[in-house]
């Protein structure tokens, strides 16, 4: 029930056009293949992810965060994010999925694709691509949005870092490093506490979710 409520919550806070569809959270959380062991990731990649996670955060006044600053504080696969970006540019370890469980969805009229990516064999992120002229080759199509969502071993360092915040971090780190995000808190009937964080301007929408003091979702939608 808690996961179903979470899916509804995501649907309510994520605006039309983002990658976080109603089914995305439950798809990732309920799949047995979604649990990642640190041993699945090569040592070189782990070192890269840990190094980024441990760097000093960008500390500027809340009102001065803008698209350029946000992009400079996003690291994917241990590399600084640059927009526009393609799947190929995310680097080694990512692979497009099109399976019975994780279907690739193509809108021929809008030339957009919604699909999941695995990272060293485990499903980690859903992306929305635009300007997809050829469904057979979407690796170089621009990414319009990405939603990192996962259940993880608590010591795992995820291939996303937003000013040093990654999936699995505690909520204090979000307040410390992403203070420009607006926060909302609530409690489910079973006593589970959750916080949702968001930010929106003309260029980008950001969503972050924490459940029981743990970051479970980080999403970006590029306008």
Q: pLDDT tens digits for 92-150?
A: 999 999 999 999 999 999 999 999 999 998 889 999 999 998 888 899 999 999 999 87
Using CA atoms, how far apart are residues 129 and 114, in angstroms rounded to an integer?
6
Asked if 151 and 168 touch (Cβ cutoff 8 Å), the reply is no
Report how far apart, in Å, the C-alpha atoms of 73 and of each of 24, 37, 59, 98 are: 25, 26, 11, 30
Give the distance, in angstroms, between the CA of residue 93 and the centroid of all CA atoms in the same chain. Answer: 16
* pLDDT over threshold 80, residue 155: no
Residue 57 CB contacts under 8 Å (≥ 6 apart), including other chains: 73, 163, 164, 176, 177
pLDDT digits (tens, 9 = 90+) for 168-188: 999 999 999 999 999 999 998
Instruction: Note the pLDDT of residue 12.
Output: 37
Give the model's confidence band at 196: pLDDT under 50 very low, under 70 low, under 90 confident, else very high. Answer: very high
Which of 19-23, 117-121, 187-191 has the weakest average pLDDT?
Answer: 19-23
Please give the full DSSP string across 47-101, using - where no structure is assigned: HHHHHHHTSPPP---GGG--HHHHHHTEEETTEE--SS-BHHHH-TTEEEE-SSS
Number of domains in the chain: 1
Using CA atoms, how far apart are residues 77 and 92, in angstroms rounded to an integer?
8
Domain that holds residue 151: 2-222
Three-class DSSP category at 197: strand
Asked if 180 and 206 touch (Cβ cutoff 8 Å), the reply is no
Query: Across all residues in the chain, what is the average pLDDT?
Result: 84
């Amino acid at each position: 029930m808690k996961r179903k409520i979470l899916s509804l919550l995501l649907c309510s806070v994520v605006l039309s056009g983002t990658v976080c569809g109603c089914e995305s959270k439950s798809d990732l959380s309920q799949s047995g293949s979604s649990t990642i062991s640190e041993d699945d990731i090569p040592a070189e990649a782990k070192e890269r992810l840990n190094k980024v996670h441990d760097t000093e955060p960008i500390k500027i006044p809340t009102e001065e965060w803008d698209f350029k600053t946000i992009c400079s504080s996003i690291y994917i696969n241990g590399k600084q994010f640059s927009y526009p970006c393609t799947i190929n540019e995310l680097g080694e370890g990512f692979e497009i999925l099109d399976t019975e469980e994780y279907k690739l969805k193509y809108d021929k009229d809008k030339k957009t694709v919604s699909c999941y990516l695995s990272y060293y064999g485990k499903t980690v992120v859903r992306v929305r691509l635009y300007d997809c002229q050829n469904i057979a080759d979407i690796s170089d199509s621009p990414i319009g949005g990405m939603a990192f969502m996962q259940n993880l071993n608590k010591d795992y360092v995820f291939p996303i870092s937003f000013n040093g915040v990654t999936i699995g971090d505690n909520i204090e780190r979000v307040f410390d490093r992403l203070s420009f995000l607006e926060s909302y808190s609530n409690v489910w009937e079973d006593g589970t506490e959750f916080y949702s964080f968001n930010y929106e301007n003309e260029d980008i929408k950001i969503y972050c979710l924490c459940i029981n003091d743990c970051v479970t979702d980080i999403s970006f939608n590029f306008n």
